[in-house]
Chain A
């Protein structure tokens, strides 16, 4: 380190300062750019669906509600439709009405006791599992909760 000339010292000092300034803007800039991609909004919130009394043992009931979704600075409402069923009036199961194959809406067909998808004739059993057809996995299900007579599902 004895041969550090004035010129060499200045060049290094400038390089270090430039690097420091670059890092001071660069690091926040990276955080700023990738920030929103890490955010998962609304997940884990309990969404009220309706009265638990409206679901009786037997056919699943299609319950509809809307949830607010924020994307950046925009807030819009999305419709959520869920089939809720119960066997004893105490414990409830909730299944999405969206077919896991290509996203068509399934409907409950009482005389076949299954969820029927009109797009490719797929049938799901009462518990959401695939009976026949192309769907790769069972219907999505939600965690449920009953509080003061209202059924809630946990947003996935």
Chain B
């Protein structure tokens, strides 16, 4: 027996469904058939989950963070020590960043070891490779933002690594830093990349990546004679 409340909810669902087709979308995404798989197949979802945490905590941090050399460090200290639960928001974002890198690599290893990148899933793999590079870029640009000694020297080292790129290394480093060395120009460009450019590209690619996962379905665990 459906209760009155359930009937009412179903009516609202019908009304919205008639105008949006959400039930088909829901079924296609969440009620799709999958082969019998193991827990390693949850690594992609785990990465997506941490990504959502990063987006939410990142947006929250932007309410107080100021990407300006004289204030950046003080605003981070204010978030961490003075705001209620600022330590939690920043902590989640900080450790979430490490989790993103670890989970992305673990997810990629599962795909490699199970041969899940093969036909017809090459595009999912290719978008995944770009997504992994984007995750590293997030880590690199975000590392400078607290504007402390560790941030400064990590960026010195990171850009010097970029400098040894054949032919374009010197130019690449100058473009990354907005000059010959870390300056007032470096912080806003890392910030702009970290909160606008990279998220726009990453979220678009995540959309394509997930569409392809749903479109092609997931692989089963390869058997001994595969």
Contact = CB atoms under 8 A, between A and B. Distances in A.
Interface in A19-77: 25, 28-29, 31-33, 35-36, 72-74
Q: Decide if the interface of chain A is mainly helix, strand, loop or mixed.
A: helix
Chain B contact residues: helix, strand, loop or mixed: helix
A47 B180 CA distance: 49
Contacts of B78: 72-73
Contacts of A72: 64, 75, 78, 82
Contacts, number: 40
Interface string B53-92: 1001100100110000001001101100011111011001
Nearest to A75: B74
Nearest to B77: A73
Interface in B35-60: 53, 56-57, 60
B99 to A, nearest CB: 14
B53 to A, nearest CB: 7
A69 to B, nearest CB: 15
Interface residues of B, number: 19
Contact of B86 (A25, A32, A74): A32
A32 B60 contact: yes
A76 to B, nearest CB: 13
Contacts of A29: 56, 60, 85, 89
A114 B21 CA distance: 76
B83 A36 contact: yes
Contacts of A32: 60, 63, 83-86, 88-89
Contacts of B60: 29, 32-33
Nearest to A29: B60
B56 A25 contact: yes
Interface residues of A, number: 11
Contacts of B84: 28, 31-32, 35
A70 B143 CA distance: 28
B163 to A, nearest CB: 34
Given A35-B83, A36-B83, A28 B88 contact: yes
B94 to A, nearest CB: 15
A36 B225 CA distance: 63
B74 A73 contact: yes
A73 B71 CA distance: 8
A33 B88 contact: no
Contacts of B89: 28-29, 32
Given A28-B88, A29-B60, 14 more contacts: A25-B56, A29-B85, A29-B89, A31-B84, A31-B85, A32-B86, A32-B88, A33-B60, A35-B84, A36-B83, A73-B74, A73-B77, A73-B78, A74-B71
25 contacts: A28-B84, A29-B60, A29-B85, A29-B89, A31-B84, A31-B85, A32-B60, A32-B63, A32-B83, A32-B84, A32-B85, A32-B86, A32-B89, A33-B63, A35-B83, A35-B85, A36-B83, A72-B64, A73-B71, A73-B74, A73-B75, A73-B77, A73-B78, A73-B82, A74-B71
